[in-house]
Every structure is written in structure tokens, then in C-alpha cells.
């Protein structure tokens, strides 16, 4: 069993739709990270969370520490949001665990 599980694995949306990607983890964490990777590209850090909610432009990330669950929301999705979104957690034991990623395609 992976320490970090994401759903869905693949997601196709029409431009303008509201998108939610979910992440569940099973280890104790110091922080949870949402990362974005465009095809063939490097990884960009979107959020680092240890509690509550953060917002940056059209992106919102929430975390529920008790339930060991986080969500990434994209409002008014756009084709340029098409990418792989990866949830990762920083463990207490100096480890960094990655989820398997959610491949998002936004169709014009």
C-alpha cells in the first residue's frame, strides 16, 4: 500500500469547470505539498500545507489533519491547467512520499 493515495488518476474537464483532486495519506506528516508537472517538464511547487486552507489565484488547497486528507481545487479551469498534479508529504522521519499523480486534461 502506498503511503500517499491520489484520486482520480486521470481527469478530463471542460474549460471553466470546477475541479477537485483528492489526496489521502497514512503516515505522520510535517507538511503536505501539492506539485504541478507539465509534460516533459520539471516540477513546480504549488502549495505547502500543515493545516487549514491556502489560496493562490484560481487554486485552493485544503487539509484535514484528523482525517489525513487533502484536496486541491481549481476554479474556472483553463487548458493551460492541463498537467500532472502530485500530492507529496514530508514525513516525520525525514522522508518525502509522493502520490502517483493525477493527470488533468482541460478541453477548450
Partner 1 sequence: DTEVTQTPKHLVMGMTNKKSLKCEQHMGHRAMYWYKQKAKKPPELMFVYSYEKLSINESVPSRFSPECPNSSLLNLHLHALQPEDSALYLCASSQAQGGNEQFFGPGTRLTVL
Cα–Cα distance, 34 to 53 (Å, whole number): 12
To the nearest whole angstrom, how small is the minimum distance from the Cβ of residue 6 to partner 1? 9
User: Which residue, 19 or 35, is less far from partner 1 as judged by CB?
Assistant: 35
Footprint on residues 75-94 left by partner 1 (CB under 8 A): 86, 89-92, 94
Contact residue for partner 1 among 83, 101, 104, 106 (CB under 8 A): 101
* Cα gap 13→62, rounded to integer Å: 21
- Is residue 90 within 8 Å of 5, Cβ to Cβ? no
Residues 101 and 85: beta-carbon distance below 8 Å: yes
Say whether residue 11 binds partner 1 (CB under 8 A). no
| H or E element in which residue 43 lies | strand 43-49
Closest CA relative to residue 83, chosen from 49, 54, 40: 40
Output the smallest distance, CB 3 to partner 1, in A. 11
Smallest distance from partner 1 to CB 41, Å = 7
> x/- site string to partner 1, residues 28 to 57, per CB under 8 A?
-xxx-x-x----xxxxxx--x---------
Min. distance of Cβ 59 from partner 1 in angstroms? 16
Amino acid at each position: 500500500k502506498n503511503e500517499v493515495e491520489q484520486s482520480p488518476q486521470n481527469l478530463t474537464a471542460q474549460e471553466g469547470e470546477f475541479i477537485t483532486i483528492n489526496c489521502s495519506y497514512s503516515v505522520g506528516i510535517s507538511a503536505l505539498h501539492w506539485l504541478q508537472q507539465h509534460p516533459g517538464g520539471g516540477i513546480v511547487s504549488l502549495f505547502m500545507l500543515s493545516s487549514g486552507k491556502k489560496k493562490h489565484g484560481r487554486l485552493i488547497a485544503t487539509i484535514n489533519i484528523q482525517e489525513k486528507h487533502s484536496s486541491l481545487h481549481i476554479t474556472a479551469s483553463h487548458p493551460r491547467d492541463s498537467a500532472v498534479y502530485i500530492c507529496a508529504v514530508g514525513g516525520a522521519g525525514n522522508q518525502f512520499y509522493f502520490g502517483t499523480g493525477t493527470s488533468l486534461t482541460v478541453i477548450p
